[in-house]
């Protein structure tokens, strides 16, 4: 797989080139493109006739990173994304899709350069605004836990958390992050939040929000606020694995709907 250099990291990427509209797919915190396939969050598996770019965020999967918390703040990840789009799809509009941290990265990138995106599919958007403060405390505690007791303790603590109904049938997976980087990733997440809702009205492009139920880390309140704040938005909520199985088709419809044009 090729790599792209960004400040402080080498990003591992793969491009599935079937011609057609460019699409970039991101993943969530502690995950990777490989792990998202196991979690049924590789929505790009349902696409054909596109140029689909998948990559591992810095510090995740096969990408490298530094033990520096600010490297993992969402605006920094958004700069990485824009650098990848310049490298692979210069002068073109791209459809972006990603869960959780990936959805957050897309929103930050789209606010920096809205002309680069033809549309967005935001999957299980994470805690934000009011709910982010409590989650930031959990991330800080997780960083301390890894430093004190190691990655095994972090994994065991994660097993105690209830799983949303839509993903209860997916296999158990492990974080795709090196142990020495995990505290920095957690602290970077604690320093991050979604853009303020008042800023999101500037994103006048088609957006689909795909949410699921019974997940405090990805609450429906975030999806509901995005639905109110974004000018062109539709929302779908998965309550069962059968609902989740419809998401690749929804992404394919989003890509067809958003079209795209050259960036002037």
Q: pLDDT tens string for the chain (264 positions)? A: 689 999 999 999 999 999 999 999 999 999 999 999 988 899 998 798 999 999 999 999 999 999 999 999 999 999 999 999 999 999 999 999 999 999 999 999 999 999 999 999 999 999 999 999 999 999 999 999 999 999 999 999 988 888 899 998 888 899 999 999 999 999 999 999 999 999 999 999 999 999 999 999 999 999 999 999 999 999 999 999 999 999 999 999 999 988 755 554
pLDDT, residue 264, reads 46
pLDDT, residue 261, reads 55
Q: Extract the tokens encoding 137.
A: 């405390």
Round to the nearest angstrom and report the end-to-end CA distance of the chain. Answer: 30
pLDDT, residue 158, reads 87
pLDDT, residue 175, reads 95
Domain span at residue 24? 3-257
pLDDT, residue 160, reads 81
Q: State how far the Cα of 166 lies from the Cα of 253, in Å rounded to an integer.
A: 21
Rg (CA), the chain: 17
pTM higher than the cut 0.75: yes
Yes or no: say if 185 and 30 are a contact pair by the CB < 8 Å rule. Answer: yes
Q: How far is CA 257 from the centre of its chain?
A: 21
Closest by CA position to 194, among listed 179, 205, 209: 209
Q: Is residue 263, in this structure, part of any structural domain at all?
A: no
Work out how many domains the chain is built from and give that number. Answer: 1
Q: Is residue 262, in this structure, part of any structural domain at all?
A: no
Instruction: State the CATH number of the domain containing residue 16.
Output: 3.40.50.1820
Q: Is residue 264, in this structure, part of any structural domain at all?
A: no
Give the count of alpha carbons within 13 A of 232, CB side only: 13
């Amino acid at each position: 797989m090729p790599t792209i250099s960004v400040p402080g990291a080498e990003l591992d990427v793969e491009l599935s080139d079937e011609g057609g509209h460019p699409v970039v797919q991101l993943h969530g915190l502690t995950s990777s493109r490989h792990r998202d396939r196991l979690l049924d969050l590789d929505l790009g598996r349902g696409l054909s006739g596109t140029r689909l770019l998948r990559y591992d965020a810095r510090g995740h999967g096969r990408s490298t990173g530094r033990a520096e918390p600010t490297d993992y703040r969402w605006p920094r990840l958004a700069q990485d994304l824009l650098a990848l789009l310049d490298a692979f799809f210069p002068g073109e509009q791209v459809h972006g899709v990603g869960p959780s941290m990936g959805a957050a990265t897309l929103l930050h990138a789209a606010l920096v350069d809205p002309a680069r995106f033809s549309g967005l599919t935001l999957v299980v958007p994470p805690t934000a605004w009011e709910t982010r403060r409590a989650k930031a405390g959990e991330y800080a505690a997780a960083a301390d836990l890894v430093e004190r007791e190691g990655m095994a303790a972090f994994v065991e603590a994660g097993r105690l958390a209830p799983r949303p109904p839509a993903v209860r049938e997916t296999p158990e997976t492990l974080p795709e992050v090196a142990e020495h980087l995990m505290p920095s990733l957690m602290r970077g997440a604690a320093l991050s939040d979604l853009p303020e809702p008042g800023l999101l009205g500037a994103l006048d492009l088609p957006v689909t929000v795909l949410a699921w139920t019974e997940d405090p880390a990805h609450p429906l309140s975030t999806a509901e606020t995005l639905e109110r704040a974004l000018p062109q938005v539709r929302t779908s909520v998965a309550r069962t694995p059968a609902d989740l199985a419809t998401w690749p088709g929804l992404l394919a419809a989003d890509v067809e709907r958003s079209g795209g044009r050259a960036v002037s």
